[in-house]
Chains A and B, each alone.
Chain A
């Protein structure tokens, strides 16, 4: 415990109050005093208030003047000592960079006069005058210029010899726990105290609970992946197996033709779909019959459908694309299901690609959440009932279904949910029954119906995290701070 703390306590004991610490302890700087006061304050032994006082400080130049005289006085001394005076041209050489300043001031004071190219003194035969500048600065240094008039202070300030500063000092009074003895307070319980038992008698500093504590050094999972995991758990809880959606590259056959998307469909435009130049074409699928079925159902009609009746082209079908939806994988999985048809539930959450102009809500890549439910004699009531259970798990209860069009589902239902915040119905996904033209060419039995539905992963996530720009959520522009400070994703927590 510092001596200063004891001195403060003794002074207070003697006079009850310290009106101003800078008067009481003039030799101490403000910070030293404050540290001692805070320590006593923490023990509730004293209380204090701040006093702010204006304070003149001498610049380095002024300190030099106090010691060696003002520039004008030094010039006068030089000129007076030297009988010949001083050549004007030599002022700088003899007196340094401030010589000219001193020269001007000395002329102004009437101390010197000019004779040709020389300066001569007016004090040849009489004592030198007072060096007022030096004296004033000395006075300021010693007692804050009590004897210096205001105009002179301003002049010195203008000459950058003094600067105004604020000095903080304190008025100190006794407080509840005042005593001359300072009891040692401990900041924390240590293992030594526990082992020695000294914790029983030790006194502890009061805790500041109004603080956040020290955050742990930690890593983080990506927010979008956290939401993805929520969806996965919903699917798992409803008996859905994850599809092998790790296949970004598809042929037009699997991405479009198998889904009964005609070859002239706008979705197949260069404007919307990424085509590949290397590899440019796929091989034909292994199942020749399936390949021919697809051609027939598009071109001539088959499986109870009149078809689109256009010349179906192999070249178009074998063009390579980056998949535009994960339904390309669902198609391959359903084709596989035809080998051993049975009730099946499948899902995937993975990337899809669209050749779109990038803006706040569109990226060339995003994630599609897709579910597929196959069973004998499924009904639309089952689809709607299922959607209700699925979205219930996300905390979305108020659903409505709108007829829509999709080339591979019939009926197609857009799913709307009531958004309390926006006060309106918003579209949250698409669903439908896959068309017989998609299922029967695979060899699936006619009464095995398949429900499919999909939504983007980003859209509900953006709503959840109140993001307006998809680039703040996916891609390399996402802020690491956002990732690191992002809370757990809980879809059951007011999503819509």
Chain B
């Protein structure tokens, strides 16, 4: 969620009231924003107190003080939604998109704000809004980037083209020396603010650039504007350029910028349109498109979702508080034609309109009711039921349950257990540390790491876990599946194989599975067989565990048991002897 810092005094003035922090906090809570911090008590002398407000990630219209005040004033019934207009109605300025941009950054838009009067604080807010949009909606300028220019330093018509870096030469913003595209890349490589955006175009043979009639560079999006066209407090006519790879978001950004700052124009809320010509991809159109979108909402749907029975006028009033402009549909009593202002691209479906009605009504004013379907039969997941049986039996036997992580390093899952990578493990592509390289295919690493961390505990240490491992499975849509295993480790002065063996017997007894002295007789039951191929165990001290579910059926190998190899204990830094047992309990489902 973005956090927006606004001038406290200015905001309260715009809201027509000096709120106490508690009052303002309450207002934010009900509206769905969050007062994060009031800096009044932390201000240095002469510093103006700020309110830091968290804004939901989809409300791009509230990323500056102008938008926050507008939305809250409408919510409080102190203002209605502004009526935006195009002046002159027909564009006088054009910007032509050249086909060369299609490989690097194909979409562009523009708009003009005339007769603006900035103050220092509104100027700062204008710059800050662009930053907020760049980091949030524009995904760090990858999807969209914007530039703002003093129109009086440029001359239309404009072109948006992509040129080889060596052919783009200009003095970048706040610099004194002209550079070409390549020099710019070197110059800004180490720059704290701009360096992180260079990758967006760096490897392209052509860089995007916006030029005026006289081939003066206005900007090289998404990196930097030219110094020539920079806006200052004295700028009165602002040219906005917006470029991007996401057509929808380009249009959203144009609308947010003009919606927020056209209020400072000589004719408030008027915008001068720009004809953006893009013949090669048939995207020619006039920006901005300020026509409100009409979306229909059913009154019955809104009432049904809210669990209320509000009349049409009440719902209209509620929606107006949220900046929407609803009108009764002329032919259908149950329908509202809701005019969605350009500031609210987050409204995608009538459920968004329904939500606005519910926020305006107040979540905490809704009547608490109970869903009708109350008498449903509940049941546990079968594998969890088996796991619980085994967990209880193990803890009753005097063993303690542990809960290690399922992610571990490749070494912990293989090398430390003296195992080779059998390529059954799921491997992570982008872990931040080597602690998380694979999803475990055995519970042993977690148990042994737990023992390592608890070396000071009195001996013997008896620990177990019943948890999921993950194995690759090419036959499945997700190409991997979980398997519920149970494992226990005994650690002491002696290896104590008989204790893990006895515990296995106890668990098998709990699962109604007898030990078979003569497995060949074909009865239901379990037995263990020496296995010298498992290098996790000391030679001659490891075994496979077999289980036959039904008399006469084929037996299945369900796990292993043995004395842990001293090298394994060495890898896990355990200075004692130990034995372990691990089985797949899904065989008992």
Contacts and interface: CB of A to CB of B under 8 A. Distances in A.
| A, B in one complex | yes
A236 B348 CA distance: 36
A243 interface: yes
Contacts of B477: 251, 282-286
Most A CB contacts (10 A, CB to CB) among B406, B463, B472, B479 go to B479
Given A322-B428, A435-B351, A403 B404 contact: no
Contacts of B376: 239-241, 343-345
B331 interface: no
B140 to A, nearest CB: 10
A248 interface: yes
Nearest to B380: A242
A314 interface: no
Given A278-B427, A381-B307, A478 B403 contact: yes
Contact of A343 (B355, B372, B381): B372
B32 interface: yes
Contacts of B58: 405
Contact of A276 (B364, B366, B380, B427): B427
Contact of A279 (B56, B351, B472): B472
B99 interface: no
B56 A405 contact: yes
A201 interface: no
A360 interface: no
A382 to B, nearest CB: 5
B481 to A, nearest CB: 7
Nearest to A250: B478
B470 interface: yes
B481 A411 contact: no
Interface string A38-64: 000000000000000000000000000
Contacts of A19: none
Interface size class of A (residues with CB under 8 A): 35 or more
B426 interface: yes
Nearest to A479: B454
Interface residues of B, number: 101
A380 B366 contact: yes
Most A CB contacts (10 A, CB to CB) among B304, B378, B430 go to B378
A322 B403 contact: no
A411 B359 contact: yes
B395 interface: yes
Contact of B384 (A242, A254, A386, A477): A242
A477 B305 CA distance: 47
Given A220-B400, A304-B349, A405 B59 contact: yes
Interface string A382-394: 1011101100000
B468 A239 contact: no
B431 A480 contact: no
B306 interface: yes
A386 B481 contact: no
A437 B349 contact: yes
A307 B430 contact: no
Contact of B363 (A219, A225, A384, A436): A384
Interface in A343-380: 343-345, 351, 353, 355-358, 363-365, 373, 375-380
A308 interface: yes
B145 to A, nearest CB: 14
Contact of B391 (A225, A378, A382, A385): A225
Contacts of B468: 246, 248, 351
A71 interface: no
B401 A345 contact: no
A346 to B, nearest CB: 10
Interface stretch (B39-47, B444-452, B553-561): B444-452
Contact of B454 (A247, A248, A345, A480): A480
Given A400-B364, A476-B450, A435 B380 contact: no
B405 A400 contact: no
Contact of B428 (A275, A343, A376): A275
The 8 A-B pairs at the shortest CB distance, nearest first, are namely A403-B32, A379-B307, A343-B373, A381-B307, A405-B56, A239-B376, A385-B368, A476-B449
Interface of A: 217-222, 224-225, 232, 235-251, 254, 264, 266, 270, 274-280, 282-286, 301, 303-310, 320, 322, 343-345, 351, 353, 355-358, 363-365, 373, 375-382, 384-386, 388-389, 400-405, 410-413, 433, 435-437, 447, 449, 451, 474-481, 483-484
Given A239-B377, A381-B306, 11 more contacts: A220-B401, A279-B472, A308-B248, A308-B348, A355-B430, A355-B432, A365-B405, A433-B305, A474-B403, A474-B405, A476-B446
7 contacts: A277-B427, A280-B429, A283-B479, A284-B477, A305-B349, A343-B376, A480-B463
